[in-house]
Structure 1
C-alpha cells in the first residue's frame, strides 16, 4: 500500500540527501531500530548519546515514508480535548498525558536548537476555534481545564478573534508553546547527525524479518545478511504487521494542499497554527517561504486516490476553506496530495514493550500529534532500554 499519492512539497526543499548503504554483512548490536521515519530518527538521535551500538534499518530511504507527507504542525493539545480525556481515563491521567505532550514539545525545541541543519523550525501559537455555536461550551470547558492545570492558554471571544485575525468565529482558545517544522528535513537531519557517531550505523533499502530469539539476542534476516540484536524497536508508522493489526487502531486518509508563496500575512497575526472543533477538522499553517499548508477532508478509507483530477478537486476544496478565513489572499494550489494516517481508538499512541516478547518494543505515534508523540515516545523507549523504566510508560502501553 502506498502511503500517499499526488505531489509532495517537502521533498522539493531538501537539496542533496545523504545516501546510506544496503546491509551486506552479518552484524550484532545492542539496539536494532526498524524504520527511519520520525520515531526511528528521533530514537536513533537520542541513543547516539548512549554507550550502545545501534543499527537503524529502513526498507526504502530515510524519511521517505509518512514523514514526507507530514504537515509539520507541532502542538501539545490533541485531537481529543483534555476535558474529553478526563471523562474517559480520569482527570489525573488525562493531565499526565497532556503534560507528556507538552514535554514532548519542549524536547523538540531543544533538538531543533541543537541540530546544525536548518529544519525550518519556528515557535508558534495555535488558535483553536469553535466551528459552530454548539461547540462554544466545549471550548469554554477546555479553556477552564487547561487553565486549572497551568497549561499555556488564553480565551478569545468573537470580537477578539475578528480584531486579531480578521475572520469571524464564536470563540477560541489560543495556546502557546507550539511550533512548526519542515518534518522531512527534521528526519533527514536527525539521522545524518546521529550517523556521525561511531556507535550508529544506518542502512537503507534493507527490509528485515524476525527469525527467532537465541542466547540473549533476537535474530533478524534481510535478503543479504543477518542482524543479532539485544533490543529491537519497531518504528514502522502506519505499516501494520501481524502484531499491530490487533491493536485498537484505524487507518484513514486525509488531504493536503500547499499554496503558492504569499507576499504578506498582515491579517494573520504571528502566522499562528489554526484549527477547528469540527470533525474531521480543517487546519492550516504557513511555511518558511510564505506558502500556506492546509489539510483536512478526512475520509474513512485507507488509501488516497491516485487520479490527478480527483486530487485537484480536493485541492480546490481546501483552497476554498482557506479563502473562508482570508478572502483577500490570491491563492493557487502548487502541491496537492492525499495520505494515509492512523489513529488509535482512545486517542493515545502505542508505545512500549511487547507483552511476552522481552526487549521488543513499538514506538507508533498514531494520531494528529504524531511528531509530538514520536518525541516523547522515543524518550520512553530510550529509558525502557537504558533504565528499564519510565514513569509515564503505563499511559501508552501496548496492552491497555
Structure 2
C-alpha cells in the first residue's frame, strides 16, 4: 500500500492528493529588502489573496507575504466543501442573535457562494466544482431538527434547495446504513481547493499585487500612525494592514492568538472506487452531525476523500492512515481493505462559538480568521469585503465584527490544555 506522508513539517507541504493533481504551481519570490505600500497583508491563503487582488485591481498598492508557499496552509489542504449559510444552522443562530441578523449573515454567505463560483468562472480557474451536499444525523433523536431545518430554510430564509431525507433515502444516497436521516442541499457543492488557491495567486499577481512566499512576519506594530511589519530581510511600511494567518497565527499577534485556536485536521484519499458504485452515487459531499465532524466526498476521478480525525495539539501523528481507515470502515465496511494513496493534514482555525473572528487588533490593523471549518466560501468573501471596507464601498464586514467572539479561557499557558479537555469531551459525547 503506497501512502505518501511527511510529518516533519507542521504544514507537511506536497503530500496531499490536491498537490498531486493540481498541475503547475507557480513559485513567487521571497521578500528581499524593505517596501512601502498602502496596504500590507500577512497571510497568503484565500482571505489574504482575495484582499490583495481586490485592492490591487482598484489601484491600491499592496504587499502580501506568507511564511510558506501559497497553498500550504488551510486554503490548499481543506475538505473542499462550500456549504450553505454560516457554521451554525440559521435557526440555531437566530436563537442567539435574532432573525434580522441571522438572515443578514445567511444572505451574506449566499453572496459568498456566488462570488466564489463567479470568480472562478471569470478567471477560468478549473476548481472541479461538483454540485450537492448532504448533512446526515448520526443519532436518531436528531430527526426532528433535520425536518425543521429544511422547512425553515425555505420558509424563513428564502432557500428552497434543502430537502429532508428519511432513513431509506439517506442510505441510498450515501451507499451506507450508518446514518439515520439527513438533508440534501442542491444549491451548493464542493471543489478542488488548491486549484482555486493557485488560480487566485495568479490573478492577484496579474492585478498588480506584490506577493511574496517564504517570507515570515516576525513582528507587527503601529509606529506613529504607520503599520510596520518586520520580516527577516526587511520591513514593510503601510497605512493599513490585514492579518490573515488564521490557524497559523502563532505568536505574531496576541489578540488574534487568544481568540483563534489551531486544531489539526486530517484527510485521506483512497484509490478510485471503480468497484464500489454504490458509494455516493450522486457525487455529493457529506458532513455528519458529530461535534468532531466527519466529512467526505468523491473526487471527479472517483476517489473517496475522507476527513474525520482531529487532534487538539500542534503535533502531527506519525501515521494517520489507520485512524482514517477505521472511520471509513465504520461507514463503508466494504472499503476496509481499500488502498489509501495519500494522507495529509493541516491546522484549522476555530473560535469558541465557531464563528469568524474579525477585529481591529491595533490601530489600522485588522485581523480575520477562525472560520471553524466553514471557510472555503467565507474566507474568500471576507478578503473581498476587507478590500471593499478599505475602498469605502461596503460595510458588510461589520456583520462579522459585531459577533461576540470571546477569547479562549486560561491565558496563553492554559488555552491549549483546556481546549484539549473540552474537545475530547465532545468527541466522547459523539460516541455515546
TM-score using structure 2 length: 0.82
Q: Which one of the candidate residues 246, 257, 266 is aligned to 1:245?
A: 257
Counterparts of 1:57 and 1:305, CA distance in 2: 25
Q: CA-to-partner distance for each residue in 1:154-176, whole Å, 9 max, x for gaps? A: 12222333454443443221112
Picking from 35, 47, 52, the partner of 2:43 is 35
What are the Cα deviations for residues 321-340 of structure 1, in whole angstroms up to 9, with x where unaligned?
4415xx37972211123433
1-structure distance, mates of 2:172, 2:228? 61
Cα distance, 1:398 vs structure 2: 7.5
Aligned to 1:172: 182
Count of residue pairs the alignment pairs up: 389
Change (3 A) 1:79 1:318: farther
C-alpha separation in 2, matches of 1:102 and 1:254: 26
Counterpart of 1:158? 167
Task: Write the distance in 2 (CA, Å) between the matches of 1:213 and 1:389.
Answer: 28
Separation of aligned partners in 2, 1:14 and 1:172: 32
Separation of aligned partners in 2, 1:5 and 1:227: 27
Stretch moving more, 163-172 or 130-139: 163-172
Unaligned runs of 5+ in 2: 1-8, 406-432
Deviation at 1:33, TM superposition (A): 0.9
Q: Normalized against structure 1, the TM-score is what?
A: 0.88
Structure 2 CA distance for aligned equivalents of residues 10 and 385 of structure 1: 33
Residue 109 (structure 2) pairs with residue 101 (structure 1): yes
Q: Of the candidates 138, 144, 158, which is equivalent to residue 145 of structure 2?
A: 138
Which residue of the other structure, out of 354, 372, 380, is the alignment partner of 2:385?
380
Displacement, 1:266? 4.1
1:87 to partner: Cα distance: 1.7
Determine the C-alpha separation between the residues in 2 that align with 1:5 and 1:134: 41
Is 1:67 the counterpart of 2:75 in the alignment?
yes
Q: How does 1:142-291 map to 2 (within 5 A)?
A: 142-148=149-155, 149-151=157-159, 152-168=161-177, 169-197=179-207, 199-208=208-217, 209-214=219-224, 216-240=225-249, 241-247=253-259, 249-263=260-274, 266-267=277-278, 268-291=280-303
The 3 A distance-change label for structure 1 pair 23 and 390 is same
- The alignment partner of 2:367 has SS state of strand
| Alpha-carbon distance, 1:365 to partner | 4.3
**Unpaired stretches in structure 1, ≥5 consecutive residues:** none
Structural mapping, 1:306-345, within 5 Å = 306-308=317-319, 311-324=320-333, 327=334, 331-345=338-352
Q: RMSD value over aligned CA atoms?
A: 2.5
Q: Is the 8 A contact 1:156 1:172 kept in 2?
A: yes
Structure 2 contact 71–77 (Cα < 8 Å) conserved:
no
Match of 1:368 in 2: 373
Equivalent residue runs for 1:343-358 within 5 Å? 343-354=350-361, 357-358=362-363
Aligned to 2:332, the other structure's residue is in SS state helix
